[in-house]
Amino acid sequence: MPRRYDPERRERIVAAAVRVLERRGIKGLTHRAVAAEADVPLGSTTYHFDGGEALLLAALERVNADWLEWFARWVADAETAPSVADRVVSLLDDWTGPRRASAELLYGLYFAGLERPALRPLAARCLDEMVRLARPLTGDEAGARAFVGLVDGLLIQLLLTGGPHRPEETREALARLLHEAGSRPRPGTG
């Protein structure tokens, strides 16, 4: 029987892998589970992804791309907002509230890099891209790295502890960070 032409199959498999990760976590990501979720033969998943690590990497690339697309829109809105601090407060509330499952998936994949070194380069590229995107908010790379670190740290703490978000503490930390980043001379200006 001739092979059916299906140019979208690989993308459907990756999307299915993300859904499996959302429901079952990394330990539940198997070729069999993804094939069932994508409604494709098991051989299709192994044809496109030679091992579980390759499937996990593809899923992480998709999760990163979705996150970075969202973060780019968020930064663009934050640049024009009256208060970056208010935008960060809403980000934290959003990602620990309605988007919590997505945040847990994203950070779960990053933490998996501690045990699976193959994931580290993707996580590093995502963080570097976040820094690049956040640079207009702080004026320089060091400030952007600190900004991303602060937002990451706050999200991780809130996700892990389940504790309440204290917007006043977030605003104070950001005011310090953004003031210090803004008070340093820009490279080449002084």
- Distance spanning both ends of the chain, measured CA to CA: 71
pLDDT above 70: residue 10: yes
pLDDT digits (tens, 9 = 90+) for 38-50: 999 999 999 999 8
What secondary structure letter does DSSP report for 83?
Answer: -
Q: How far apart are CA 41 and CA 49, in angstroms?
A: 13
Q: In degrees to the nearest 10, what's the CA dihedral of 157, 28, 101, 112?
A: 30
Domains of the chain (ranges, CATH numbers): 1-50 (1.10.10.60), 59-183 (1.10.357.10)
pLDDT tens track for 36-95: 999 999 999 999 998 778 999 999 999 999 999 999 999 998 888 888 888 899 999 999
Task: Residue 183: count other Cβ atoms within 10 Å of its Cβ.
Answer: 8
CB of 58 closer than 8 Å to CB of 117: no
Distance between CA atoms of 10 and 171, rounded to whole angstroms?
43
Q: For 161-176, what is each residue's pLDDT tens digit?
A: 988 899 998 898 888 8
Residue with tokens 């990394």: 26
Rounded to two decimals, the pTM is 0.82
